[in-house]
Amino acid sequence: MSLYWRIFLLNAAVLVVAVLLLLGPVTVSTPVLLGEAIVLVSGLIAMLIVNALLLRVGLAPFQRLTRAMLTADLLKPGRRPAVTGHGEMAELTRTFNTMLDRLEAERATSSARVLSAQEAERQRIAQELHDEVGQTLTAVLLQLKHSADHAPDALRDELRQAQETTRGSLDEIRRIARRLRPGVLEELGLLSALRSLATEFSTRGLTVRPHVDAGLPKLDQETELVLYRVAQEGLTNTARHSGASRVDLHLRPLSQGGVRLLVRDDGRGIGRAAEGAGIRGMRERALLIGADLTIGPGESGGTEVRLDATGGAKGRTA
């Protein structure tokens, strides 16, 4: 029976009972006596209460489905409203769940294409920075050195200063190129890449300590890249926004297979700040490999980024 007919019949039943009462033991005089008025008002209140309760029970599944629609997030998949009730309500809930499945699959596919194109573009830019800008600055450095060696004393100090400025710019270009294209990840693997990240982000005011447990499974290339990028983004957010003095970077095996990445700092915490593009990017990357990403307060304050990647393992290393 459809929802329309259920509500119609419930209201009809209430009205029929009221009419039967008026035709039977309940009568109305003219003018209305006090006792009759009390009976009629009490009956009206009772009918309204019963009608409200019946409507609440009948429409409760709609309220649950509405809450599910309001809280649905394609970056946090897996949440589905339970299929309850019968008829139209159950069919509507199943249709909504099917729609979420399709949207999440399409979002994952489109995100994979976008991130793949993004990585390719990063590699192209890094290559151009290294080959074009890097070589140009190297040539400028050699020319400045030659000029400084043959310049009069009055200009030598200025040329030396320009040489140091150019050398600093060249180092910065190389650092940017390394971040755009993690060559150490491709050449030496994930563990060396994470240790290199820790060294890169360690400054006078921030200490990054890498912790890598033994018995890690062998991961595919896509999973390693996601782990590296999430660690990189987590450290970037910590360095820019947290005010932390220490960060612990953990990589450990999971009992059910896969690995867990932890980036835990002692900063001011994330609080109720809205998620920015960096965190949304981490969530999209996690979806690519079916990983679970959790961002929240740490056990002793600060912020903790946890990524559980159970897919992509190829068996444990010796």
Higher pLDDT, 126 or 194: 194
Q: Is the pLDDT of residue 180 over 50?
A: yes
In this structure, the answer to whether residues 171 and 193 fall within a common structural domain is no
Domain stops at, among 180, 206, 233: 180
Q: Which residues of 2-37 are buried (b: 16+ CB within 10 A; e: fewer)?
A: ebeebeeebeeeeeeebeeeeeeeeeeeeeeeeeee
Residue 4's pLDDT is what? 64
Domain stops at, among 180, 197, 222: 180
Domain stops at, among 53, 68, 83: 68
Q: How far apart are CA 68 and CA 154, in angstroms?
A: 75
The sheet carrying 259-265 orders its strands as 207-212, 246-253, 259-265, 303-309, 292-297
In this structure, the answer to whether residues 243 and 264 fall within a common structural domain is yes
Residue 316: pLDDT band (50, 70, 90) is very low
Mean pLDDT, residues 6-31 taken together: 69
**Within-domain flag for 276:** yes
**Within-domain flag for 83:** no
Residue 239's pLDDT is what? 86
In this structure, the answer to whether residues 190 and 171 fall within a common structural domain is no
In this structure, the answer to whether residues 147 and 221 fall within a common structural domain is no
**Within-domain flag for 78:** no
**Within-domain flag for 96:** no
In this structure, the answer to whether residues 174 and 239 fall within a common structural domain is no
Q: What is the DSSP letter of 216?
A: P
**Within-domain flag for 79:** no
| pTM, 2 dp | 0.61
Structural domain count, the chain: 3
Structural domain span for residue 202: 183-316
